[in-house]
């Protein structure tokens, strides 16, 4: 029997893994075609060997657009029970991935509990955990200690990790020499930038990239190459720093593939609508078709409290033009840690964007859901419409809180309902409108 280290290693050797079989069935794709895409790096299946509860998902070319939910504790909001409740609710709402972005205290117990019960893939940003886990000032943390944190997360069972390898000294110089309105807004990227400035050293994850890849290979962790220079305002999008980092990430992608490490690329950020399609093409070109994971993009900076909407607009455009993975944004973005209601709003907005993009991309079966809903509407079958709704709970509540005189109408149109009247006329039924 041929042995393998990672999903990519297996795919290159012609081996179809159990995870590949599960993903191929979900995606209605021939398993051999999926294996080829994994071998080429155009699809990733984040599946840490230490995550036994995982229900595998694929991210990349020809597959449904996936969504990620961020959660985790901070110093000001440190309720682990609430974050676990959020995780369970996110799974119920069909999020394919959860990122634990906890940045306060000793978070390993929470992370392990999350991995133990979650069928969704789990991601982390080890840099967030470094200061709390090591209990040291940033300047005093050594490169070896950064790698210890990464290995701890990998051993715990994390399926993908965001590591900001592309913010090297040259990229940092672009940030300093090209004035931005919002500087670096990536939390992990800003921490590494500060560490480099304080210690006058190169980014250890760039300088010792092979060491990072060895850890990822050992546990089959998918590396999500973080965009430290993602734009934090529409003013800063597609600038020199963002593009410089993207070029570096493309080079790092090829090095990871040589070691059979699966790779995703992270992208913007805030970006005006007319720039999104071009950015998607640029990423796919410069990063050799690797799956693209975007935060939003948020298409205007002036809607705090409604950024689940600004990001859904950008996310739909991005995914329709090649992005493979959408990180949800909640109404609380830029304002506070989201609560359960915020989280739900963000998930539904991201799912709408992902599904709309899948229709545009021609993903097999994507239109079937819409056609079923349209059939229910033509039949004036409200129970079926509610059943098919992306959020049946909300649809049912709206229906019940405004009852019509006739059950085959709603309180918007009443007896003038075109669906009801066309159905009656075409069925040869008598129609009387008062």
Q: Give the model confidence (pLDDT) of 141-175 as tens digits.
A: 999 999 999 999 999 999 999 999 999 999 999 99
Is residue 293 pLDDT above 80, yes or no?
Answer: yes
- Tell me if 209 sits within 8 A of 255, measured CB to CB: yes
Would you say 266 is a known binding-site residue? Answer: yes
Is residue 187 pLDDT above 80, yes or no?
Answer: yes
Would you say 128 is a known binding-site residue? Answer: yes
Would you say 20 is a known binding-site residue? Answer: no
Would you say 293 is a known binding-site residue? Answer: yes
Position 1 scores a pLDDT of 72
- The proportion of the chain whose per-residue pLDDT surpasses 90, expressed as a percent, equals 85
**DSSP secondary structure code for residue 429 in this structure:** -
**DSSP secondary structure code for residue 61 in this structure:** T
The whole-angstrom separation of Cα 141 and Cα 34 is 41
Is residue 434 pLDDT above 80, yes or no?
Answer: no
Position 17 scores a pLDDT of 98
Residue with tokens 């799912």, as numbered in its chain: 351
Position 419 scores a pLDDT of 86
Position 158 scores a pLDDT of 98
Residue with tokens 């990790």, as numbered in its chain: 161
Is residue 389 pLDDT above 90, yes or no?
Answer: yes
Position 77 scores a pLDDT of 79
Cβ neighbors of 432 (< 8 A, separation 6 or more) are: none
Would you say 228 is a known binding-site residue? Answer: yes
Instruction: Give residue-wise pLDDT tens across range 63-109.
Output: 999 999 999 888 887 888 899 999 999 999 999 999 999 887 778 88
- Tell me if 121 sits within 8 A of 47, measured CB to CB: yes
Instruction: Give residue-wise pLDDT tens across range 97-144.
Output: 999 998 877 788 899 999 999 999 999 999 988 887 888 899 999 999
Instruction: Give residue-wise pLDDT tens across range 9-59.
Output: 999 999 999 999 999 999 999 999 999 999 999 999 999 999 999 999 999
Instruction: Give residue-wise pLDDT tens across range 224-273.
Output: 999 999 999 999 999 999 999 999 999 999 999 999 999 999 999 999 99
Would you say 164 is a known binding-site residue? Answer: yes
Would you say 308 is a known binding-site residue? Answer: no
Would you say 132 is a known binding-site residue? Answer: no
Buried b (16+ CB within 10 A) or exposed e, 397-409: eebeeeebeeeeb
Would you say 70 is a known binding-site residue? Answer: yes
Position 431 scores a pLDDT of 82
Domain extents in the chain: 46-361, 382-426
Strands (E), 158-280: 160-163, 222-225, 263-267
Q: pLDDT averaged over the chain? A: 95
Is residue 414 pLDDT above 90, yes or no?
Answer: no
Locate 140 and state its tokens: 């005093």
Would you say 417 is a known binding-site residue? Answer: yes
The whole-angstrom separation of Cα 185 and Cα 234 is 13
Would you say 413 is a known binding-site residue? Answer: yes
The pLDDT confidence band at residue 409, using thresholds 50, 70 and 90, is confident
Range 343-356 average pLDDT: 98
Position 406 scores a pLDDT of 83
Q: 46-361 sits in which CATH class?
A: alpha beta
Would you say 230 is a known binding-site residue? Answer: yes
Position 80 scores a pLDDT of 85
- Tell me if 257 sits within 8 A of 41, measured CB to CB: yes
The whole-angstrom separation of Cα 222 and Cα 60 is 13
């Amino acid at each position: 029997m041929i042995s393998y280290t990672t999903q990519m290693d297996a795919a290159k050797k012609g081996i179809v893994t159990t995870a590949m079989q599960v993903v191929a069935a979900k995606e209605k794709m021939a398993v051999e075609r999926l294996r080829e895409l994994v071998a080429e790096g155009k699809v990733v299946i984040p599946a840490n060997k230490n995550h036994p509860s995982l229900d595998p998902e694929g991210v990349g070319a020809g597959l449904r657009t996936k969504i990620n939910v961020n959660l985790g504790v901070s110093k000001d909001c440190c309720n682990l029970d609430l974050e676990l409740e959020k995780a369970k609710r996110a799974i119920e709402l069909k999020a394919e991935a959860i990122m634990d972005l906890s940045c306060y205290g000793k978070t390993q117990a929470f992370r392990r509990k999350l991995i133990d019960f979650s069928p969704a893939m789990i991601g982390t940003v080890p840099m967030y955990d470094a200061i709390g886990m090591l209990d040291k000032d940033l300047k005093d943390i050594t490169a070896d200690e950064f790698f210890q944190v990464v290995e701890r997360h990998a051993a715990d069972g994390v399926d993908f990790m965001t590591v900001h390898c592309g913010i090297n000294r040259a990229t940092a110089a672009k940030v300093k020499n090209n004035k931005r309105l919002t500087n670096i807004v990536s939390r992990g990227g800003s921490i590494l930038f500060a560490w480099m400035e304080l210690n006058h050293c190169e980014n250890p994850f760039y300088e010792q990239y092979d060491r990072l890849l060895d850890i990822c290979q050992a546990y089959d962790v998918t590396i999500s190459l973080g965009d430290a220079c993602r734009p934090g305002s529409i003013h800063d999008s597609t600038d020199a720093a963002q593009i410089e980092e993207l070029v570096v990430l493309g080079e790092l992608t090829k090095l990871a593939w040589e070691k059979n490490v699966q790779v995703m690329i992270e992208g913007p950020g805030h970006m005006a609508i007319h720039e999104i399609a071009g950015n998607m093409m640029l990423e796919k070109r410069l990063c050799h078709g690797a799956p693209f994971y975007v935060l939003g993009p948020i298409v205007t900076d002036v809607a705090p409290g409604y950024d689940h909407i600004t990001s859904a607009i950008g996310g739909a455009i991005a995914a329709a033009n090649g992005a493979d993975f959408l990180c949800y944004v909640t109404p609380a973005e830029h304002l506070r840690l989201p609560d359960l209601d915020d989280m739900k709003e963000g998930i539904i907005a991201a799912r709408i964007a992902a599904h709309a993009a899948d229709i545009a991309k021609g993903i097999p079966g994507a239109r079937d859901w819409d056609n079923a809903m349209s059939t229910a509407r033509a039949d004036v079958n409200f129970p079926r419409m509610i059943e098919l709704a992306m959020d049946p709970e909300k649809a049912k509540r709206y229906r019940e809180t405004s009852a019509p005189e006739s059950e085959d109408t709603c309180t918007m149109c009443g007896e003038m309902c075109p669906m009801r009247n066309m159905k009656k006329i075409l069925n040869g039924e008598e129609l009387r409108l008062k």
